[in-house]
Amino acid sequence: MSFEPKIVGFLCNWCSYTGADLAGTSRIHYAPNVRIIRVMCTARIDPTFVLKALTDGADGVLICGCHPGDCHYSEGNYKMMRRYPLLKSILAEFGIEPARVRLEWVSASEGQRFADIVNDMTQRVRELGPSPVRTALVQDMAER
């Protein structure tokens, strides 16, 4: 059986979570690999959420928020946008491939876009294989 990645999705309540719901009401089918966690705004996403997901066994983390300029809280997504490169550079230090953590903008009307992103990300992470964090943890457990 081919490797099926587990991906945690952090979606903002106003645009992206609503967009994911729209994909549902529109019956747009997509890969089942993303488990969605709702936050009020991408600005709430503490980098530790991403690290926690990776250490708990996620092979990838998808962050979705409102398009720039469309934030319900006017500028929360810009805050995420600024934190994101810092987070990515830390992850790179740990040897986590850039494609495993992804930031995307999905509006409430973009159900199709959300489905496309999930499909694309699932495919990319599938190609990367299991997360090195997960592999290292499993190894660590075995050695104990």
Which of 35, 89 has the CB closer to other proteins? 35
Q: Shortest distance, CB of residue 57 to other proteins, whole angstroms?
A: 5
The residues near 31 (Cβ < 8 Å, ≥ 6 apart) are 118, 119, 122, 123
Residue type, 103: L
- Is the separation of the CB atoms in 63 and 34 below 8 Å? no
Q: Which of residues 25-44 bind other proteins (CB under 8 A)?
A: 25, 27-30, 32, 35-41, 43-44
Ramachandran sector of residue 74 (left: φ over 0; alpha: ψ -120 to 50; beta: rest): left
Which of 109, 139 has the CB closer to other proteins? 109
Element spanning 90, H or E: helix 76-93
Q: Which stretch binds other proteins (CB under 8 A): 9-17, 92-100, 120-128, 136-144?
A: 9-17
**Total residue length of the chain:** 144
Q: Shortest distance, CB of residue 143 to other proteins, whole angstroms?
A: 22
19's tokens: 């967009």
Q: Which of residues 99-138 bind other proteins (CB under 8 A)?
A: 107-109, 115
Q: Give the footprint of other proteins on this chain (CB under 8 A).
A: 6, 8, 14-15, 17-18, 20-21, 23-25, 27-30, 32, 35-41, 43-49, 52-53, 56-58, 69-70, 72-76, 79, 83, 107-109, 115
